[in-house]
Structure 1
């Protein structure tokens, strides 16, 4: 690997947070270039770094990768978190995509008008308890991990998602014993335990400063997530 992994994004969660989680779970150290000014973003565009004019951008192995799913799949494949064959990878993708759908609903909350936030929270809670958590509860029945009896990127996404849900709905996994036990096991994984400690590169819940920075840097021209 040519140098340390470098993440280019805002000082907040967004779509980069799952990448931070996956790198941390793989035990990979990374640096961050935090976007705080419009000029930084414009330079990235001018330099041709953003193929689709969107962040996140990750420098890894001499490449400048964009598109969240492509970045996550590369990291998962490189660090043996992507199953043993195409069949396992397909199921890992199924579970990962479901979690991304759920987490993206939560990502847009900070950018949701105040009068619509309560309805959005209700939708998230209903979808989580009625659609997503039951699927993961079933998948974890009799198994420590979602696919193949070994930790994959889907498991890392699941603990990230459940912790995000609990920030808004503290008791939400109490009716899903397999998911709750899974979360406890994942928290005990040394690399993940380290990432959950104060002072790690895990980002806190988005605040007004994060929202204003994103809107300013993107000049409200791109979808914000």
Structure 2
């Protein structure tokens, strides 16, 4: 019997969207429970750590984005083929996470606090961080020689990084033009059947 998955997050992209992309790429059905902002104050104390997203898996509750992604990736055979590859996946994901910290600030400023000046600064910071991040990812990708960031097959880190590229392109169209190998890498994920199906139907209030 297959497992039942429920994702709890706001009606937007933000921190919930990488989980949706992972479900979509894996071809795994899930319930996308979208929380309205007016519901959040009452719901917050009932969540595992007072934050979203969290998931329910066969009735068991799991919070924290990174933990959720790793748990699901293991289940979907998208977390490397040995402990070393798992560690490399974590390493690269932590590297990117540290350098995209401005994105949550942007989402917070735009959709929760209505602070356009803060949003503009967060957007600028996000774009300014990109070149050094993209250069390092380009080096990592070139070194593997398999068209993926770790090992010989697509894994969680490829999907997560492709979503990072996707948000960058939303902020600044053409930002990947100087990084053709990364653009091609992202395109393989974006154009996969699962992700394309998700992008056509997701209908989010904000991204």
Q: Which residue in 2 is equivalent to 1:53?
A: 50
Q: Which residue in 1 is equivalent to 2:88?
A: 91
Q: CA deviation at 1:174?
A: 0.7
Retained in 2: the 8 A contact 1:92–1:153? yes
Structure 2 CA distance for partners of 1:189 and 1:36, relative to 1, 3 Å: closer
1:137 partnered with 2:138: yes
Q: CA deviation at 1:135?
A: 1.2
Q: Which residue in 2 is equivalent to 1:66?
A: 63
The residue correspondences of 1:89-128 to structure 2 (distance < 5 A) are 89-112=86-109, 113-128=115-130
Distance across 2 between alignment mates of 1:152 and 1:190 = 16
Q: CA deviation at 1:85?
A: 1.1
Q: Which residue in 1 is equivalent to 2:161?
A: 158
Larger deviation, residues 160-169 vs 52-61: 52-61
Distance across 2 between alignment mates of 1:43 and 1:204 = 20
Retained in 2: the 8 A contact 1:6–1:32? yes
Distance across 2 between alignment mates of 1:144 and 1:105 = 28
Q: CA deviation at 1:120?
A: 2.6
Distance across 2 between alignment mates of 1:43 and 1:123 = 31
Q: Which residue in 1 is equivalent to 2:8?
A: 8
Distance across 1 between alignment mates of 2:117 and 2:170 = 20
Structure 2 CA distance for partners of 1:40 and 1:193, relative to 1, 3 Å: closer
- Report SS of the residue matched to 1:133: helix
Q: TM-score, normalised by structure 1?
A: 0.79
Structure 2 CA distance for partners of 1:6 and 1:145, relative to 1, 3 Å: same
Structure 2 gaps of 5+ residues are: 110-114
Structure 2 CA distance for partners of 1:85 and 1:192, relative to 1, 3 Å: same
Q: Which residue in 1 is equivalent to 2:112?
A: none
Equivalenced residues, count: 200
CA RMSD of aligned residues (A): 2.2
Structure 2 CA distance for partners of 1:166 and 1:205, relative to 1, 3 Å: farther
Which of 126, 147, 151 aligns to 1:148? It is: 151
Structure 2 CA distance for partners of 1:69 and 1:175, relative to 1, 3 Å: same
Distance across 2 between alignment mates of 1:84 and 1:176 = 28
Which one has more relative contact order, counting CA pairs under 8 Å at least 6 apart?
A: 1
Retained in 2: the 8 A contact 1:81–1:151? yes
Q: TM-score, normalised by structure 2?
A: 0.86
Which of 177, 180, 205 aligns to 1:174? It is: 177
